[in-house]
Amino acid sequence: MHYRNLIHIIIFLIGFSSFSQVNFTTKLSKNRLGLNERVKVEFSVDKDGDNFIPPKFENFRIVGGPSQSIRNSWINGKRSYSKTYSYFLSPIEKGSFEIGQASIEVDGEIYKTLPVKVTVTSAVDKPTNPNDPNYLADKKIHLVAELSNKSPFINEAISVTYKLYVSPDTGVDNWRELEAPRYANFWSNNIDIKSLNVQNGTYKGEPYRYVVLRRTLLYPQKTGRLKIEPLTLDISVQVPSNRRDFFGNLISSSVNKTVSAGSSFIEVKPLPIDNKPNDFSGAVGDFNFEIKSDKKSLLIDEAFQLSLIISGNGNFNLFEDPKISLPSSLEVYEPEKISNVSVRAGGIKGKVNNKFTIVPNMPGKYTIPQTKFSFFNPKVEQYVTIYSDPIYIDVEGLNKNSSSDNDSNVLNATNKIQLAQNQFASFKTKTKFSKIGENIFFNSTAYWILFSSPFLICIIIIVLVKFLKIYNSKKIDKLKIAKGLTQKLLVESKGLIGNKEKFYESIDKALTTYLKSILNLDNSQLNNKYIHSRLQQMKVEKNLIDLLFNVLENCQLARYTPLNIEAMSEDYENAKLFIEQLEKVKNEK
């Protein structure tokens, strides 16, 4: 009896283990396919599981999926369940490859599929059967790249527009981008398309519907024959067939097709050498240029702003701004660049304002000289030079570096009268005088000096207090202006992460502007040795000083060192940290 119960228990455990076994398998729609075909891969599990992880699909491109389906049924009281994860793959190259293991978690246990092999051969011939959905899809859907100008000048704006043409009796469910076009030797910027509007048009003389999928603005940076790599899409297409349903309506078939716009080529012309201005810095387009000042009359140490404004249509940010020649007695801060431009198919249009903050150190009449700006206009194929008007600035106040001593000499001219000898002989001329009040203080020179001294001292104190108040307020204003420019440059630097040269140029300007203001430095004192000495005098910690010079060193080496986005982000955070910590050190004092 004891043995019989043991046998029943063993049979029950065997049955339970077979009942609880999980089947997790991989199924291919075909094991052999051409380079231009697709294969469907299905991973099926007969238990409800979580945390599905697909294989890496090496040597294949995912063109569809993942999609998930669940089948749950009861037949004769027996439950049948399966969950399937499906992918559509397109091979990248020929050869014999392996679809790796997928994994899933069921009831706390991890299960894996077995790897399966698939063979990829050369591209198979396209179907020629008119009733084949793949043949119909090839004939009824087209992706086209249209260029606005195939022979531009270097740095002249052109646009490339990608249009998807679809036959009227064909439908498109969705599409996905397999390969984005690459623009080597171009400066590129995608133009936002707010909505996809279906329009009527023609393709090779036949009526089609089309939609603009992508539009990109390009500025060629190299002369000669340049190639634009194609845009490639995977599209789910609904094509009609010759079969009809019960009600006589045509039955549509769904197929997935890969379409490409093909490579495009343009011939880029160099800019002419004849009549090229000496100050030409690469501006191509149609521009206007002016210089404005927000003040024409001000006091010494009072700041004013000088705006260098370039407006029009052209390759903004791809050329150097004109240089303004200013007197050395004007303290000039790094400019704040304010861009108000929009990217259009015809080019970048708008206005860029380089706003300089300037503080005069000496009184006088200053002249902002006439400044010129040259550009090449591709429409007329000529160089154009335009000039700004000169600006006159009147600065009033006392010269802090010199003292004026204006002494007035009073000349008293007297006529000498010659007296005759013995003219007053009848008068008694020898009179004896007694010394009375010889040392009287009243109305003497000392009396008037002491009497007027309190009034003079009060006037001097009032003037000094007023002067110091104005001087300190101007000093605070200069410090506020510098700190404001520093913060704006830091914000600008954060947006430039990824653009190595512009990012480090902006970080360097931010740190230089901050150090000049906080340490009261002029341009001749901007060297590492002097800055290090001044920071040590402020009792700044060594690790904070090292942090600063590490960022400054990266700014100098940015042109020659392959720094990545992580390094740029770290340098931005270090520059921000240095400024914050130095502010704390300054406030503690």
Task: Provide the token pair at 88.
Answer: 């559509």
Quick one: how far is CA 109 from the chain centroid? 48
Residue bearing the bigger pLDDT, 129 or 356: 356
Residue 254 lies in a domain: yes
Half-sphere exposure of 97 (CA within 13 A, CB side): 23
Number of domains making up the chain: 4
289 and 247 share one domain: no
Question: Going by DSSP bridges, is the β-strand pair 103-106/60-75 parallel, antiparallel, or unpaired?
Answer: unpaired
Last residue of one domain, picked from the residues 121, 155, 183 = 121
Task: Pick left, alpha or beta for residue 273 (phi over 0 → left; psi -120 to 50 → alpha; otherwise beta).
Answer: alpha
Tell me the DSSP string of 341-361: EEEETTEEEEEEEEEEEEEES
Residue 463 lies in a domain: no
pLDDT value at residue 290: 94
149 and 75 share one domain: no
Residue 425 lies in a domain: no
Last residue of one domain, picked from the residues 211, 240, 268 = 268
141 and 254 share one domain: yes
Residue bearing the bigger pLDDT, 285 or 79: 285
142 and 103 share one domain: no
| 520-to-450, 476, 481 alpha-carbon distances in Å | 42, 12, 13
332 and 387 share one domain: yes
On the question of pLDDT at 293 being above 80, the answer is yes
Q: How many CB atoms lie within 10 A of CB 377?
A: 18
Mean pLDDT of the chain: 80
Q: Which residues contact 42 (CB under 8 A, 6 or more apart)?
A: 26, 27, 28, 84, 85, 86
CATH number at residue 537: 1.20.120.330
- Asked whether the beta carbons of 219 and 156 are under 8 A apart, the reply is yes
- Asked whether the beta carbons of 92 and 60 are under 8 A apart, the reply is yes
Domain, as residue range, for 188:
133-268
Task: Provide the token pair at 311.
Answer: 């407006």
Residue 277 lies in a domain: no
pLDDT digits (tens, 9 = 90+) for 403-423: 444 333 332 333 333 444 444
- Block residue for tokens 């506020």: 480
329 and 225 share one domain: no
On the question of pLDDT at 564 being above 70, the answer is no
Quick one: how far is CA 367 from the chain centroid? 35
Q: Which pTM was predicted?
A: 0.54
Residue 292 lies in a domain: yes
Q: What angle do CA 90, 95, 101 make, to 5 degrees?
A: 65
Q: Which of 104-108, 399-403, 543-547 has the lowest mean pLDDT?
A: 399-403
| 507-to-44, 337, 366, 463, 535 alpha-carbon distances in Å | 54, 14, 32, 42, 19
Quick one: how far is CA 576 from the chain centroid? 18
On the question of pLDDT at 348 being above 90, the answer is yes
Residue 107 lies in a domain: yes
φ, ψ of residue 588 to 5 degrees: the values are -65, -25
